[in-house]
């Protein structure tokens, strides 16, 4: 059976825990080619990104190369997409060319699930519209696990444009699987309807001193038709800054999936603050994606 990686909801807790442990192995051995370089030798992946990316696209490429695989970077702007080729025909073409797996990002929430039954090779969701970003979810879990040695019972505040965030989408799915509590903070118009008991809305300044981690989110301007945002006013009300960091527990951590807008959702001095794990998340992204590539090829985690 083809092993896809489309949503964290398709995995039981035990499988996700195995993936986290495997990602931790890769984190510890990422610079030991003699231990890992043979694992996906002679495999070829395709990075197919219909939306911009720095972290996800580059870390999948580095992950593949660290495991001995090769990767083709398909760029829609320089492809036959410009001649009218559909997404389906593009993916079927890459399949026919002989790639072993496709890493796929698109603005549509559900196209990845709709296309998957028609493909004979594994598909990785590298960010689907406002739906899920499961490889980001895995690296966020790895970062929390490294920090706290457990996931169950952790309290995480998520602040910002949650309604349009696939990062928050995957985190909320993972929270349900692992028994974490999520607090959604930000402008009411940017928060989704809440239906699950493990997710609740909260006032940012009230909840901040009680949480183990806070995930700051960018306002997804590309997914808004008209949003009148005053960056200074937004920062004052919902931004992570020195005043708010002082109210956090000493062992609580600051997360952000990136890219971040300094001075809007996070102040300049918080990005590399000692409680920030933002660049650690990026480093963990390579290890998490090594575990995902190995899983889709070998079924191992
Ligand atoms: N976190 C994340 O998905 O970043 P990129 O858009 O740069 O891949």
Atom of ligand 1 nearest to the CA of 51: 6
Active site residue 166: no
Active site residue 66: no
Give the number of other CB atoms < 10 A from CB of residue 11. Answer: 20
User: Ligand 1: distance of its center to the CA of 69 in Å?
Assistant: 22
User: Ligand 1: distance of its center to the CA of 124 in Å?
Assistant: 15
Band (pLDDT 50/70/90 cuts) for residue 301 is low
Separation of alpha carbons 90 and 108, rounded Å: 16
Mean pLDDT value of segment 119-128: 97
- Which residue segments constitute the domains of the chain, with CATH numbers given? 8-133+283-298 (3.40.50.1370), 135-277 (3.40.50.1370)
- Model confidence at 293: pLDDT above 90: yes
Separation of alpha carbons 242 and 253, rounded Å: 13
Question: pLDDT by residue (tens digit) across 152-176?
Answer: 999 999 999 999 999 999 999 999 9
Cis status, amide bond into 259, omega within 30 of 0 = yes
Q: 53 CB under 6 A from ligand 1?
A: yes
**Residue 186 backbone zone (phi > 0: left; psi -120 to 50: alpha; other: beta):** left
Atom of ligand 1 nearest to the CA of 56: 8
> Residues, the chain, total?
301
- Model confidence at 225: pLDDT above 80: no
pLDDT of the residue at 10: 96
- Model confidence at 102: pLDDT above 60: yes
Nearest CA to ligand 1 atom 6: 53
Q: 163 CB under 6 A from ligand 1?
A: no
Quick one: what percent of the chain has pLDDT higher than 70? Answer: 99
Nearest CA to ligand 1 atom 4: 55
- Model confidence at 115: pLDDT above 90: yes
CA distances from residue 217 to 50, 223, 236 in whole angstroms, order as listed: 21, 14, 15
Active site residue 90: no
3-state secondary structure the chain: CCCCECCHHHCCHHHHHHHHHHHHHHHHHCCCHHHHCCCCCCCEEEEEECCCCCHHHHHHHHHHHHCCCEEEEECHHHCHHHHCCCHHHHHHHHHHHCCCEEEEEECCCCHHHHHHHHCCCCEEEEEECCCECHHHHHHHHHHHHHHHCCCCCCEEEEECCHHHCHHHHHHHHHHHHHCCEEEEECCHHHCCCCCCCCEEECCHHHHHHHCCEEEECCCCHHHCCCCCCCHHHHHHHHCECHHHHHHCCCCCEEECCCCCCECCCECHHHHCCCCECHHHHHHHHHHHHHHHHHHHHHCCC
Quick one: what percent of the chain has pLDDT higher than 90? Answer: 93
Active site residue 105: yes
Nearest CA to ligand 1 atom 5: 53
pLDDT of the residue at 221: 74
Band (pLDDT 50/70/90 cuts) for residue 228 is confident
Q: 107 CB under 6 A from ligand 1?
A: no
Atom of ligand 1 nearest to the CA of 127: 3
Band (pLDDT 50/70/90 cuts) for residue 299 is confident
Nearest CA to ligand 1 atom 3: 56
**Dihedral sign for Cα atoms in the order 12, 13, 14, 19:** positive
Atom of ligand 1 nearest to the CA of 54: 7
Q: 258 CB under 6 A from ligand 1?
A: yes
Contact in structure between 158 and 300 (CB atoms under 8 Å): no
Kindly name the residue from 4, 22, 43, 55 that is annotated as catalytic. Answer: 55
Active site residue 56: yes
């Amino acid at each position: 059976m083809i092993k896809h990686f489309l949503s964290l909801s398709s995995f039981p807790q035990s499988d996700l825990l195995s993936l986290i442990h495997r990602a931790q192995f890769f984190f510890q051995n990422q610079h030991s080619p003699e231990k890992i370089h043979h694992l996906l030798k002679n495999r070829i992946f395709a990075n197919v990104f219909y939306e911009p990316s720095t972290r996800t696209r580059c870390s999948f490429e580095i992950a593949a190369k660290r495991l001995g695989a090769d990767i083709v970077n398909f760029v829609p702007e320089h492809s036959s997409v410009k001649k009218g080729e559909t997404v389906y025909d593009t993916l079927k073409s890459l399949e026919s060319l002989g790639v072993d797996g496709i890493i796929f990002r698109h603005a549509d929430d559900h196209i990845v699930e709709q296309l998957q039954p028609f493909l004979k090779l594994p598909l990785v969701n590298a960010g689907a519209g406002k739906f899920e970003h499961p490889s980001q979810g895995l690296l966020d879990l790895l970062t929390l696990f490294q920090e706290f040695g457990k996931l169950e019972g952790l309290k995480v505040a998520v602040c910002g444009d949650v309604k349009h965030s696939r990062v928050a989408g995957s985190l909320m799915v993972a929270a349900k699987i692992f028994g974490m509590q999520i607090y959604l903070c930000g402008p009411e118009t940017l928060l989704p309807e809440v239906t699950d008991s493990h997710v609740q809305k909260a006032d940012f300044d009230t909840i901040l001193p009680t949480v183990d981690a806070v995930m700051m989110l960018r306002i997804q301007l590309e997914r808004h038709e008209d949003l009148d945002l005053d960056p200074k006013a937004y920062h004052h009300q919902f931004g992570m800054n020195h005043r708010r960091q002082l109210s956090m527990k000493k062992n609580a951590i600051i997360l952000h999936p990136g890219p971040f807008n300094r001075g809007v959702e996070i102040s300049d001095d918080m990005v590399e603050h000692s409680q920030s794990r933002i660049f650690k998340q990026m480093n963990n992204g390579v290890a998490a994606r090594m575990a995902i590539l190995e899983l889709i090829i070998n079924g191992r985690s």
